[in-house]
Amino acid sequence: MASSKFSIILSLSLALFLVLLTQANSTSEFSFNFKSFDSPNLILQGDATVSSAGLLRLTKVKGNKPQSSSLGRAFYSAPIQIWNSTSGSVASFATSFTFNIFAPNKSTAADGLAFALVPVGSEPKSNGGFLGLFNDATYDSSYQTVAVEFDTYSNPSWDPEPRHIGIDVNSIESIRWASWGLANGQNAEILITYDASTQLLVASLVHPSRRASYIVSERVDLKSVLPEWVSIGFSATTSVLAGAGETHDVRSWSFASKLSDDVSTGGIDLAKFKPIRFLPPPLEQRAQSLLCRKGTLERHQLPLHAYTESPLKQPPHTASLVSTGATTPLFGQSRVIIGGATCVGSVTAACGGPTFGFASSLPSETEPNKDFAGCKKVFRDKRDELRSFVSR
């Protein structure tokens, strides 16, 4: 009898524990940081290798020259849980990396590099313009792939005209893109973040040597696109044309993810990542306040200078900036609006609403003692014209 009562009590206790367990908020965090690379931590595919200097070289190089028709992919050796099938929760993540693309002939540079989340065990796809991630331009949910591409060649069948940064979901045709000026042979610093609470994927690129910044963002429901566990890493390809191509070297890579049943616990602490900025905090804050004011809907009539590739050579004019959301630093909790932008200087803030600006600061050629906050504003779907402004 005593044994029977004990069994009942044990069963009830176990049942109560399971109920409490299912109601409890669980959090799983994961991170790594590669200042250089070694093969044991990576799954290498195709032509990808790790150089003696610890660089991740994604495509084939022979005699210091890039080879055409090369495809290489490299993924972190362990799978990453991107959502939980039991609780339905989705991970927030952030990744930063530095890469270098060099083309002996910039006019024939092709095809590019991508950071990708793919199914575990995924095999390389087509080379050339498909970047080793897809086999054609048609949307196909079976790919279960989300990528941020750094595309160096415009394929007219699916690409916008300029070189660009694009967000790809189950297709090589980007659902959102921003033009990108390739700094040939110079390092590019990348930060990609995903906020599970807003489903916002944001990618930013900085060329420190050129004081140029680029950003693109879009809402993506990762749970509806990706399998529960994914591989994360890089894929790159060179042109299929003989004599054309480029090198694709990744110099460093860090990643952090947080999978929590309680979204109020917050996202990734981006303070752990190397900041991508050119300005000291006071100038950042001043540039940010110029474009956005917290929690208000305001229209600002600001004197603006049109920005071209030769900064501030055109006469001033006036344009309206509209702020409809809270001021949000790009590298804090992301509420960056959907769109794409090309900025000069440091990308520091964004405003929600039908129009937006990304604040930055840079010296004027015509008035070198004055600070300017510069941004390119995007009023478009995928392929409309970019318009840029610089504001005093």
Beta partners for residue 25, in sequence order: none
41/111 same-domain check: yes
Where among 229, 247, 272 does a domain terminate? Answer: 272
The pLDDT assigned to 262 comes to: 62
Is residue 2 in some structural domain? Answer: no
Q: Cα separation of 6 and 149, whole Å? A: 61
178/245 same-domain check: yes
- In 3D space, the residue among 269, 307, 294 whose CA is nearest the CA of residue 352 turns out to be 294
> Which backbone phi and psi does 348 adopt, to 5 degrees?
-125, -25
371 close to 283: Cβ distance less than 8 angstroms? yes
Where among 251, 272, 293 does a domain terminate? Answer: 272
188/316 same-domain check: no
The pLDDT assigned to 26 comes to: 63
240/375 same-domain check: no
* HSE-CB for 262 with a 13 A CA cutoff: 8
382/291 same-domain check: yes
**Reported pTM:** 0.68
How far lies 181's CA from each of 59, 188, 244, 289, 363, in Å?
A: 21, 11, 19, 27, 20
How far lies 267's CA from each of 184, 191, 199, in Å?
A: 34, 15, 12
Positive/negative CA dihedral, 46, 47, 51, 56: negative
73/216 same-domain check: yes
CATH code at 221?
2.60.120.200
Q: What's the domain count of the chain?
A: 2
Is residue 8 in some structural domain? Answer: no
CA angle, 292 then 297 then 300, to 5°: 60
190/319 same-domain check: no
222/331 same-domain check: no
111/232 same-domain check: yes
The pLDDT assigned to 187 comes to: 93
349/249 same-domain check: no
Where among 228, 253, 272 does a domain terminate? Answer: 272
How far lies 184's CA from each of 110, 236, 371, in Å?
A: 12, 16, 28
198/286 same-domain check: no
238/256 same-domain check: yes
Judged on CB neighbours under 10 Å (0-12, 13-18, 19+), 18 is exposed
Q: What is the extent of the structural domain holding 365?
A: 281-391
In a structure prediction context, what are the per-residue pLDDT tens digits for the chain, which is 392 residues long? 554 554 554 454 444 444 444 444 567 899 999 999 987 899 999 999 999 999 999 999 988 888 988 999 999 999 999 999 999 999 999 999 999 998 888 777 888 899 999 999 999 998 788 889 998 888 899 999 999 999 888 777 877 777 889 999 999 999 999 988 888 888 999 999 999 999 999 999 998 887 788 999 999 999 999 999 999 999 999 888 877 789 999 999 999 999 987 655 555 555 555 443 433 343 334 333 333 333 222 222 222 222 222 222 222 222 222 222 222 333 333 233 334 444 333 333 333 332 233 333 333 333 333 333 333 333 333 333 223 322 22
